[in-house]
A and B are shown apart, each in its own frame.
Chain A
Amino acid sequence: MAKSDREASAPPRTWRKPPFIANPWVRYGLLVVLVVYLVWALGTLPFNWERISEGLPRAARIFGGGFPPNLSRFDLLLTGFTESLQIAILATLLGVLLSIPFAVMAARNVAPLPIYLLGRAVIIVSRSFHPVIVAILFVAAVGFGPLAGILTLTLYSIGFVGKLLAEEIEEIDWGQVEAMRSTGAGYLATLCYAVFPQILPRQVGLSMYQLDSNLRASAVVGIVGAGGIGSTLMNAFGRYDYDFAFAILLVIIAVILASEGVSGWVRKKIW
């Protein structure tokens, strides 16, 4: 109240919005940092303006060549998609199955410390790399084709599903585990009866989600040679065959939307 009295005694009162960041040094400092960063970033990035200025006519040519999309080589497109679907299915199955042991390893409440660190490391490493980088390495190791794609997406699924599942395991109701242990059940029996039933609904939902996201990713890993529709797309681009490339792109978009719809519907049904 004292404060308002003081304010009342000074007739021409003013008010300013309290600044978002109270400390003026920090406030203006951040602004300066931002400007300096922008100057630095834009100044050091190697823009090839000469090449970029040719962009608009090229864009016109590409889009002109791309329309109307050419669906005459439909079997090639279909083969590509079937392969992508096969890659996605196998990778999801393998990935989801393998993610279970890794998730158990990476859950602090059921794994001893050294095992936990190993499990976490595997998950962190497989999550750090974009699937395309993993794919290019597998292509180098096992050659072009769907095998590299399957390996890549399996690893990708282990990282993603494993992480979420490990978090799920860490949040389970611990009372059930104690109850199992008190009956004299061993480690595996405890896992099967007290841990897995609690994470199963989540696991089923995650598998559907992962199938959807593997299907998306399988279109991409093909670009570096790991099979599927991505390889078909890359070939079309490489041959400046833009009308076929745009046909592929449109079908990819359609398939992704459909798959998103289906996986959303299934997850809603199961949960």
Chain B
Amino acid sequence: MLEISHLIKRYGRDEPVLKGLDLTVEDNSVVSIVGASGAGKSTMLRCINRLVEPTSGSIKLNGTELVTLRHGQLRRARRKIGMVFQGFNLIDRLTVMENVLAGRLGYVNLFQAITRRYPDADIERAFVLMERVGIAHYANKRADELSGGERQRVGVVRALMQEPEVLLADEPTASLDPRTSEQIMVLLQSLASELSLPVLINIHNVAQARSYTDRIVGLRHGTMIFDGSPADFDKEALDAIYGGIEAPEDELAPPAAEEVSDGQE
């Protein structure tokens, strides 16, 4: 169970990007977070695994407070939080297998990491997961030889290799074509139920959010303004979230400060 309370994030002296968010995600549920660019979706996700330092507030994963962790403790906590990125964030020059095994980096020692001598159990798990998503035959191919959808599958498997207790997906389909992005959404949804894993998905595409997730959270200017089931997500909610800012499908919106680190393919 993931519990976020009073989460505030402020960059320098600017207006806060997140203004006291409260959100609780039960195990085994898929939550989509929608909102315009700059609403704070990406910052919120990155606060959970502390790629972005929260200014104040509390984030608890299965009872462990994440915000106060330091160094080694933080790294051990991050092992339990898988993340899937918009730009896939694969290491292009390494093979698919090495990318997948990189998900185990938090568990193996430095010698094993550098020589790529991972425990047999990790390799077995890698093959099982890669077969599950249909990329096992690419194991020894270089990551940059794959297509976008295949690369995102590598990204998903890498996150699952961590044996995560929660999976964060930051715009996992924004760099993919519509058909492939549907496939990735189906994959995330079914993996969540197979592994009974809570999944948080930042997403631009409201239609996909409605059809593949159990719960929709709407953010606007760093505040939560909608929280309910897809069935309740009506025209009014849509206008409240995007109204006067931009069209929901507009992906060419100017990148906000929080999304600088996001990849643009």
**B-binding residues in A (CB < 8 A):** 1, 3-4, 7-8, 12-18
- Does residue B239 face the partner (Cβ distance < 8 Å to A)? no
Q: Which of B124-145 contact A (CB under 8 A)?
A: 124, 126-127, 131, 136-137, 139-140
**A-binding residues in B (CB < 8 A):** 95, 97-98, 115-116, 118, 120, 123-124, 126-127, 131, 136-137, 139-140
Q: Closest 7 A-B residue pairs measured CB to CB?
A: A17-B116, A4-B136, A4-B137, A15-B123, A3-B137, A13-B127, A18-B140
Q: Say which residue of A1, A13, A18 sits within 8 Å of B124 (CB atoms).
A: A13
- Given A8-B131, A15-B126; 20 other pairs, CB 8 A cutoff: A3-B137, A4-B131, A7-B136, A8-B127, A8-B136, A12-B120, A13-B123, A13-B124, A13-B127, A15-B97, A15-B123, A15-B127, A15-B139, A16-B116, A17-B95, A17-B97, A17-B98, A17-B116, A18-B95, A18-B140
Q: Can you report 8 A-B residue pairs in the complex whose CB atoms are below 8 A from each other?
A: A12-B120, A13-B127, A14-B120, A14-B123, A15-B127, A17-B95, A17-B97, A17-B98
| A-side contacts of B95, CB under 8 Å | 17-18
Chain A minimum-CB-distance residue to B101: A15
Bound together, the chains give a CA A7 to CA B139 distance in angstroms of 11
Bound together, the chains give a CA A15 to CA B130 distance in angstroms of 13
Instruction: Looking at the assembled complex, report how far the CB atom of B30 sits from the nearest CB atom of chain A, in whole angstroms.
Output: 28
Bound together, the chains give a CA A20 to CA B95 distance in angstroms of 11
Chain B minimum-CB-distance residue to A13: B127
Bound together, the chains give a CA A13 to CA B136 distance in angstroms of 12
Bound together, the chains give a CA A17 to CA B131 distance in angstroms of 19
Chain B minimum-CB-distance residue to A3: B137
| A-side contacts of B124, CB under 8 Å | 12-13
Instruction: Looking at the assembled complex, report how far the CB atom of B6 sits from the nearest CB atom of chain A, in whole angstroms.
Output: 45
Instruction: Looking at the assembled complex, report how far the CB atom of B260 sits from the nearest CB atom of chain A, in whole angstroms.
Output: 26
Instruction: Looking at the assembled complex, report how far the CB atom of A202 sits from the nearest CB atom of chain B, in whole angstroms.
Output: 33
Instruction: Looking at the assembled complex, report how far the CB atom of B10 sits from the nearest CB atom of chain A, in whole angstroms.
Output: 37
User: Are A1 and B137 touching (Cβ within 8 A)?
Assistant: yes
Instruction: Looking at the assembled complex, report how far the CB atom of B206 sits from the nearest CB atom of chain A, in whole angstroms.
Output: 36
Chain B: interface secondary structure? helix
| A-side contacts of B118, CB under 8 Å | 15
| A-side contacts of B120, CB under 8 Å | 12, 14
Instruction: Looking at the assembled complex, report how far the CB atom of B233 sits from the nearest CB atom of chain A, in whole angstroms.
Output: 39
| B-side contacts of A1, CB under 8 Å | 137
| A-side contacts of B115, CB under 8 Å | 17
Instruction: Looking at the assembled complex, report how far the CB atom of A4 sits from the nearest CB atom of chain B, in whole angstroms.
Output: 4
Bound together, the chains give a CA A8 to CA B137 distance in angstroms of 11
| A-side contacts of B98, CB under 8 Å | 17
Bound together, the chains give a CA A217 to CA B136 distance in angstroms of 58
| B-side contacts of A7, CB under 8 Å | 127, 136
Chain A minimum-CB-distance residue to B95: A18
| A-side contacts of B123, CB under 8 Å | 13-15
Instruction: Looking at the assembled complex, report how far the CB atom of A64 sits from the nearest CB atom of chain B, in whole angstroms.
Output: 43
Bound together, the chains give a CA A18 to CA B94 distance in angstroms of 10
| B-side contacts of A18, CB under 8 Å | 95, 140
Bound together, the chains give a CA A238 to CA B116 distance in angstroms of 56
Instruction: Looking at the assembled complex, report how far the CB atom of A122 sits from the nearest CB atom of chain B, in whole angstroms.
Output: 42
| A-side contacts of B136, CB under 8 Å | 4, 7-8
Bound together, the chains give a CA A12 to CA B137 distance in angstroms of 17
Bound together, the chains give a CA A16 to CA B95 distance in angstroms of 11
Bound together, the chains give a CA A17 to CA B116 distance in angstroms of 6
Bound together, the chains give a CA A8 to CA B139 distance in angstroms of 13
| A-side contacts of B97, CB under 8 Å | 15, 17
Instruction: Looking at the assembled complex, report how far the CB atom of A7 sits from the nearest CB atom of chain B, in whole angstroms.
Output: 7
Instruction: Looking at the assembled complex, report how far the CB atom of B101 sits from the nearest CB atom of chain A, in whole angstroms.
Output: 8
Instruction: Looking at the assembled complex, report how far the CB atom of B58 sits from the nearest CB atom of chain A, in whole angstroms.
Output: 41
| A-side contacts of B116, CB under 8 Å | 16-17
| B-side contacts of A3, CB under 8 Å | 137
| B-side contacts of A13, CB under 8 Å | 123-124, 127
Chain A minimum-CB-distance residue to B126: A15
Bound together, the chains give a CA A14 to CA B127 distance in angstroms of 9
Bound together, the chains give a CA A3 to CA B136 distance in angstroms of 9
Instruction: Looking at the assembled complex, report how far the CB atom of A6 sits from the nearest CB atom of chain B, in whole angstroms.
Output: 10
Bound together, the chains give a CA A16 to CA B101 distance in angstroms of 11
Bound together, the chains give a CA A1 to CA B120 distance in angstroms of 23
Bound together, the chains give a CA A80 to CA B118 distance in angstroms of 63
Among the interface residues B98, B115, B137, which one has the most CB atoms of the partner chain A within 10 A?
B137
Bound together, the chains give a CA A14 to CA B122 distance in angstroms of 10
Bound together, the chains give a CA A4 to CA B139 distance in angstroms of 10
Instruction: Looking at the assembled complex, report how far the CB atom of A111 sits from the nearest CB atom of chain B, in whole angstroms.
Output: 42
Bound together, the chains give a CA A1 to CA B136 distance in angstroms of 8
Instruction: Looking at the assembled complex, report how far the CB atom of A264 sits from the nearest CB atom of chain B, in whole angstroms.
Output: 28
Instruction: Looking at the assembled complex, report how far the CB atom of B113 sits from the nearest CB atom of chain A, in whole angstroms.
Output: 11
Instruction: Looking at the assembled complex, report how far the CB atom of B42 sits from the nearest CB atom of chain A, in whole angstroms.
Output: 33
